[in-house]
């Protein structure tokens, strides 16, 4: 399958795809400590996103998601790449180049 998308952050990545048809938040849905989906009763509960290519609809939730994303990456538990298809303010700042400030 080929997905063409607007680029937020340049780079090359490879990984198994994890596809979720719904919104996603770095704060609350994903444990920065394990890199696994930690939201109870989430369809992907327990699924690891570490080094995966994560495809979902859009971002959601807390304005603290930016730092939750950063903590996940710092811990080495971030997905290899993320692709989403409805524009999201936070997701763009979470994954944009200025995250590397």
Q: Can you give the binding site for other proteins, defined by CB under 8 A?
A: 23, 27-29, 38-41, 57-67, 70-71, 86-90, 92-94, 96-98, 101
To other proteins, the closest distance from the beta carbon of 54 in angstroms equals: 17
Cβ atoms of 86 and 58 closer than 8 Å: yes
Q: Is 31 a catalytic residue?
A: no
Cβ atoms of 85 and 57 closer than 8 Å: yes
Distance CA 12, CA 87 (A): 21
- Residue number, 51 or 57, with CB nearest to other proteins: 57
To other proteins, the closest distance from the beta carbon of 14 in angstroms equals: 26
């Amino acid at each position: 399958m080929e997905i063409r998308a607007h680029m937020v952050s340049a780079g090359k990545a490879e990984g198994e795809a994890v596809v979720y048809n719904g919104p996603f938040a770095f704060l609350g849905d994903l444990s920065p400590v394990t890199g696994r989906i930690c939201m109870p009763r989430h369809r992907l509960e327990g699924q690891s996103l570490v080094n995966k290519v994560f495809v979902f609809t859009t971002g959601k939730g807390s304005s603290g998601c930016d730092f939750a994303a950063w903590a996940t990456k710092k811990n080495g538990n971030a997905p290899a790449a993320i692709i989403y298809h409805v524009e999201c303010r936070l997701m763009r700042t979470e994954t944009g180049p200025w995250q590397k400030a």
